[in-house]
Protein backbone atom coordinates (compact mmCIF):
# COMPACT_ATOMS: atom_id res chain seq x y z
CA UNK A 1 0.00 0.00 0.00
CA UNK A 2 1.82 3.11 -1.24
CA UNK A 3 1.88 6.34 0.66
CA UNK A 4 3.72 8.85 2.75
CA UNK A 5 4.11 8.27 6.46
CA UNK A 6 4.93 10.74 9.18
CA UNK A 7 5.72 9.75 12.72
CA UNK A 8 4.91 10.32 15.43
CA UNK A 9 1.46 11.91 15.17
CA UNK A 10 1.93 13.85 18.41
CA UNK A 11 5.24 14.91 19.93
CA UNK A 12 6.03 16.76 23.11
CA UNK A 13 9.42 18.23 23.89
CA UNK A 14 10.96 20.50 26.45
CA UNK A 15 12.21 23.88 25.37
CA UNK A 16 15.87 23.81 24.35
CA UNK A 17 15.82 20.25 23.02
CA UNK A 18 16.32 19.31 19.39
CA UNK A 19 13.70 16.99 17.94
CA UNK A 20 13.59 15.04 14.67
CA UNK A 21 10.38 14.40 12.74
CA UNK A 22 10.25 11.41 10.46
CA UNK A 23 8.90 11.33 6.90
CA UNK A 24 9.01 8.22 4.72
CA UNK A 25 7.47 7.60 1.30
CA UNK A 26 7.27 4.48 -0.86
CA UNK A 27 5.82 6.25 -3.90
CA UNK A 28 9.21 6.47 -5.64
CA UNK A 29 8.87 10.24 -5.70
CA UNK A 30 11.91 12.40 -6.36
CA UNK A 31 10.74 15.56 -4.62
CA UNK A 32 9.94 15.91 -0.94
CA UNK A 33 8.80 18.89 1.14
CA UNK A 34 8.33 20.09 4.70
CA UNK A 35 5.64 22.63 5.56
CA UNK A 36 4.66 24.25 8.81
CA UNK A 37 1.05 25.09 9.60
CA UNK A 38 0.00 27.25 12.55
CA UNK A 39 -3.61 27.32 13.80
CA UNK A 40 -5.86 28.96 11.23
CA UNK A 41 -2.88 29.62 8.96
CA UNK A 42 -1.72 28.43 5.60
CA UNK A 43 1.22 26.21 4.75
CA UNK A 44 4.67 27.74 4.91
CA UNK A 45 7.57 26.03 3.17
CA UNK A 46 10.51 25.08 5.40
CA UNK A 47 12.73 22.96 3.14
CA UNK A 48 12.38 21.00 -0.05
CA UNK A 49 14.44 18.43 -1.90
CA UNK A 50 14.33 17.69 -5.60
CA UNK A 51 16.64 14.71 -5.49
CA UNK A 52 18.73 12.59 -3.13
CA UNK A 53 21.63 14.42 -1.46
CA UNK A 54 20.25 17.81 -2.44
CA UNK A 55 17.87 20.19 -0.67
CA UNK A 56 16.98 23.89 -0.67
CA UNK A 57 15.73 26.31 1.94
CA UNK A 58 12.14 27.40 1.78
CA UNK A 59 10.71 30.61 3.18
CA UNK A 60 11.11 29.81 6.89
CA UNK A 61 14.21 27.58 7.13
CA UNK A 62 15.81 29.29 10.14
CA UNK A 63 15.98 26.97 13.15
CA UNK A 64 15.40 23.84 11.06
CA UNK A 65 17.66 21.32 9.34
CA UNK A 66 17.06 18.41 6.97
CA UNK A 67 18.88 15.56 5.24
CA UNK A 68 18.10 13.52 2.15
CA UNK A 69 20.39 10.52 2.22
CA UNK A 70 17.79 8.16 0.79
CA UNK A 71 15.08 8.74 -1.79
CA UNK A 72 12.44 7.43 0.59
CA UNK A 73 13.32 9.53 3.61
CA UNK A 74 13.39 13.25 4.40
CA UNK A 75 13.70 13.82 8.17
CA UNK A 76 13.27 17.29 9.65
CA UNK A 77 15.14 18.41 12.77
CA UNK A 78 13.64 21.24 14.78
CA UNK A 79 16.56 22.78 16.64
CA UNK A 80 16.63 24.80 19.82
CA UNK A 81 17.29 27.85 17.64
CA UNK A 82 13.71 27.77 16.37
CA UNK A 83 11.94 30.42 18.46
CA UNK A 84 8.35 29.18 18.14
CA UNK A 85 8.50 25.46 17.30
CA UNK A 86 5.00 24.50 18.44
CA UNK A 87 3.05 23.83 15.23
CA UNK A 88 1.60 21.22 12.89
CA UNK A 89 4.29 19.89 10.53
CA UNK A 90 3.35 18.40 7.18
CA UNK A 91 5.57 16.40 4.88
CA UNK A 92 4.73 16.01 1.20
CA UNK A 93 6.16 14.32 -1.86
CA UNK A 94 5.61 14.52 -5.59
CA UNK A 95 6.85 12.57 -8.57
CA UNK A 96 8.19 15.60 -10.40
CA UNK A 97 7.36 19.23 -11.09
CA UNK A 98 3.80 20.06 -12.15
CA UNK A 99 2.35 16.95 -10.51
CA UNK A 100 0.14 16.62 -7.48
CA UNK A 101 1.63 16.60 -4.01
CA UNK A 102 0.78 13.82 -1.60
CA UNK A 103 0.78 14.74 2.08
CA UNK A 104 1.45 12.71 5.18
CA UNK A 105 -0.93 12.79 8.16
CA UNK A 106 1.22 15.39 9.88
CA UNK A 107 3.04 15.64 13.21
CA UNK A 108 1.71 17.98 15.87
CA UNK A 109 4.72 19.22 17.85
CA UNK A 110 4.25 20.88 21.22
CA UNK A 111 7.22 22.42 22.99
CA UNK A 112 6.76 23.23 26.65
What is the contact surface with other proteins in residues (CB under 8 A)?
31, 33, 35, 40-45, 48, 50, 56, 58-59, 90, 92, 94, 96-106
In the sheet that holds 4-7, the strands lie side by side as: 4-7, 19-25, 76-78, 64-66
Minimum distance from residue 6 beta carbon to other proteins (Å):
9
CB nearer to other proteins: give 11 or 31.
Answer: 31
Count Cβ neighbours within 10 Å for each residue of 9-39 and write b for 16 or more, e otherwise: eebebeeeeebebebbbeeebebbbbbbeee
Minimum distance from residue 103 beta carbon to other proteins (Å):
4
Task: Provide the 10 A C-beta neighbour count for residue 54.
Answer: 9
CB nearer to other proteins: give 30 or 77.
Answer: 30
CB nearer to other proteins: give 97 or 112.
Answer: 97
Amino acid sequence: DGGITQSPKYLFRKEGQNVTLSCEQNLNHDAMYWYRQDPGQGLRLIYYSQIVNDFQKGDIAEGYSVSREKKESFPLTVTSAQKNPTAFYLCASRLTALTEAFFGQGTRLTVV
